[in-house]
Structure 1
């Protein structure tokens, strides 16, 4: 009989009790509780887990609140975990087994329940073939690896593009989904998976939630497992898109009830005595950090560091967790550390592993998003070298706002900023969705023969399209007129603030993918004439052809790394010039004067 799960139970662990941990080159979070059954969350892989990150954390909180110590972790080569020489399915299964042992050793649990999502469900199924598991929850596992890869190839064509920008190109040597690259060896491993090929019951009791359950449920039952089945209507909310990801309440309630049914509560939760989380790699070391009010980040420190080296602060993009789109931020941070450059990647409030926003709104383009950047700088108060911000899209917006307001920032790399000031009269969700149906989309469609044929047959309603575009243009014009009377920013126009930043000595670099919607804001506020924006910014605006909005490919990421290093060099030179200009200089009369910049 399934017991009712009551959120107000006295043995609940508070969500903020979750503790970052490292073990066997893996990074994870322990959510303490007093029960004797532990739950290990085996997440999805790549883009799907990036989308599911925050709801997945909410599930861990919910399970711990119901009395089960819970561990969630990053697979090798994902999130904040170490970088293996090669990613293989066998290594991920071995990581699950290591995580099971770690959960037992640190919390003292006597039972283990595995909860696997998508490919993580297939990995959990394999791990349960090798090591004893008391309960198993499978959430939309792939019937076969080949079916999963067909779905991923379809998603690869649709994730990461925008209306006017390029879509991610196909990877000739692997598969890239949302910037997450799957190499040939892992593709081969996944292609060989077959959920129905298991030879023993993975657990005495199994919960299988998926669009289709009959085949796998029959196999599990035949092997002796008591199987409960059902649909998973909330799956799109979990893995669809990180910006619109939500907690599927009904699904999570059922998972929690199954995983915690009959759990034994030994008493009040005992505080865990865990060593500080710390991960070391070739030329770098990383440590997690909590800072006020409830923010989380990872500092990446070079093995040998010049005290005057610049520090890069990565600002969250959209709802993407601090490891970055395609895990690019983690990768870039570690490469910078090898070159002696420290960095700090963190989640704005409401994103990833930071606490929620008090106003409950989505974090992208929040009017106070820059304040979280300031709190990160407060945490880095002991840094003596220059500080440089780097952000993409909404992260670029927050970085620009922080650069304008905080004199501690010496420079910023702004990638595809959609706007420099967000109009509070605009709805964030609506703008994001409209980006996929803007003027450029219709213009591109009209170049296709099939579209012309539909137009001639009357299947495309031109008047409706025209009315929609006209309304958008009118709304934009009204907003601009309103802002002339009541500006969004108290600092004056974008051009004036940029001029003020340059007088302060700050360095700004702006990079766009060709055709990105944000180019309209650049031209509107910094000039349409050739070279006008370049002169105002003090450096050429880089417009990169044939890359998607998120610069997903390895080549595009290498290009961003090049632009960042150029910016770091410029910032160091500018600071050296200011320092030299302010040095005491002895005159002929032995009086000391202070030289300064003109």
Structure 2
């Protein structure tokens, strides 16, 4: 059964939704960007329903200044108190829960790392955000690394359907030239103590199990794979508390059929 409730964080009231279930392992969903707790196209609400039907309680919430919650929106970099308060509210709403697994996509994944330590037993991090300009809204979406763009266009050049679409004028030429121009740009040097470095450091120090989920055709995932490449290579060869799973998809939010792939991996983490 789905319940709407509220809890407080630093003196303001936050809205939440609790999908009740008898299990002792619960899922905390942290929303990315400025999305409300139901997610894009109600994706997180449907995920919560699926996970609860499998026997695991699920807790979702709107952070301060988002959706039905009060307060000022400080972005994901200021969401540590919100997440901590949500964990406490989840335990109060579902007292049988002895283990909480947190799931976040995009900057919600980064927030779960940046604000450690948190009273969590495992993390599921999807397409973590590593762009330094994350607090600013741009007219154009951020470009992926040059290596990712090169691989993408090479695959398209081999596809007769893509060439036919170009000849028919079905491809946005402005976006095409913007992407190709990025190939000429020299790789940016890592920002000292930048976001990617901080995420890497936190991953190296975490003791709880972590599952990283990457949609390999997604720009945000591609940037993460490039900036954290050495760490991912080490993790793949020496699996320990951190494991990486990849899906050949360009869907940032695991929409459509990709949602089943996501749900299966979340349920596996809850059952571990």
TM-score by length of 2: 0.75
Contact persistence 1:446–1:452 (CA under 8 A): no
Asked if structure 2 preserves the Cα contact closer than 8 Å seen for 1:390 and 1:412, the reply is: yes
Say whether residues 1:371 and 2:81 are aligned partners: yes
Secondary structure of 1:568 counterpart: helix
Distance 1:427 1:317 in 2: 12
Instruction: Confirm or deny that 1:413 pairs with 2:124.
Output: yes
Is the CA contact 1:513–1:544 (under 8 Å) kept in the aligned structure 2?
Answer: yes
Alpha-carbon offset, residue 540 of structure 1: 3.9
- Match status 1:548 vs 2:251: yes
Determine the structure 2 residue equivalent to 1:535.
Answer: 238
Match of 1:335 among 37, 50, 73: 50
How far did residue 389 of structure 1 move? 0.8
Instruction: Provide the residue aligned with 1:400 in structure 2.
Output: 113
| Matched position secondary structure for 2:47 | helix
Aligned residue-pair number: 256
SS at match of 2:82: helix
SS of 1:376 mapped into structure 2: helix
The corresponding residue for 1:296 is: 15
Q: 2:137 aligns with which of 429, 432, 436?
A: 429
The equivalent position to 2:163 in structure 1, one of 449, 452, 455, is 449
SS of the residue 2:141 aligns to: helix
User: Alpha-carbon deviations, 1:67-98, whole Å to 9, x = none?
Assistant: xxxxxxxxxxxxxxxxxxxxxxxxxxxxxxxx
- Post-superposition Cα deviations, 1:420-476, rounded to whole Å, max 9, x if no partner, equal xx52x565322862349983576666664368879xxxx8899987665545x46x3
- Structure 1 residues 453, 437: closer, same or farther in 2, change over 3 A? farther
Q: Secondary structure at the match of 2:61?
A: strand
Q: Which runs of 4+ in 1 moved over 6 A?
A: 451-454, 459-466
Tell me the SS of whatever aligns to 1:550: coil
Q: Partner residue of 1:390?
A: 103
Structure 2 residue aligned with 1:314? 29
What is the Cα deviation at residue 399 of structure 1? 2.4
Select the structure with the greater relative contact order (CA < 8 A; seq sep ≥ 6): 2
Is the 8 Å Cα contact of residues 315 and 345 (structure 1) preserved in structure 2? yes
Q: 2:209 aligns with which of 507, 519, 524?
A: 507
Distance (whole Å) between structure 2 residues aligned to residue 536 and residue 412 of structure 1: 15
CA contact under 8 A between 1:388 and 1:410: conserved in structure 2? yes
Q: Is the 8 A contact 1:295 1:354 kept in 2?
A: yes
Larger radius of gyration: 1
Structure 2 match to 1:7: none
Partner of 1:353: 68
**How much does 1:501 deviate?**
0.9
- Flag the 1:433–1:345 CA change in 2: closer, same or farther, 3 A: same
Structure 1's unaligned 5+ residue stretches are 1-283, 571-598
Query: Is 1:495–1:526's contact at 8 Å kept on the other side of the alignment?
Result: no
- Deviation at residue 356 of structure 1 after TM alignment: 4.6
Aligned-pair RMSD on alpha carbons? Answer: 3.7
Shift of 1:409: 0.9
1:428 is paired with a residue whose SS is coil
Of 259, 265, 268, 1:563 maps to 265
Quote the offset at 1:317 in angstroms. Answer: 2.4
Distance change in 2, residues 1:287/1:460 (3 Å):
closer
**TM-aligned CA distance change 1:386 to 1:350, over 3 Å:** same
Q: Which residue of 2 aligns with 1:380?
A: 90
| CA spacing shift, 1:431–1:394, aligned 2, 3 Å | farther
Gaps of 5+ in 2: none
- Counterpart selection for 2:203 from 489, 492, 498: 498
In structure 2, relative to structure 1, the CA distance for the partners of 1:372 and 1:325 (3 Å cut) is same
Distance in 2, matches of 1:344 and 1:558, equals: 19
Q: For residues 470 and 368 of structure 1, do their structure 2 counterparts lie closer, same or farther at Cα, with a shift above 3 Å needed?
A: farther
Q: Name the counterpart of 1:44.
A: none
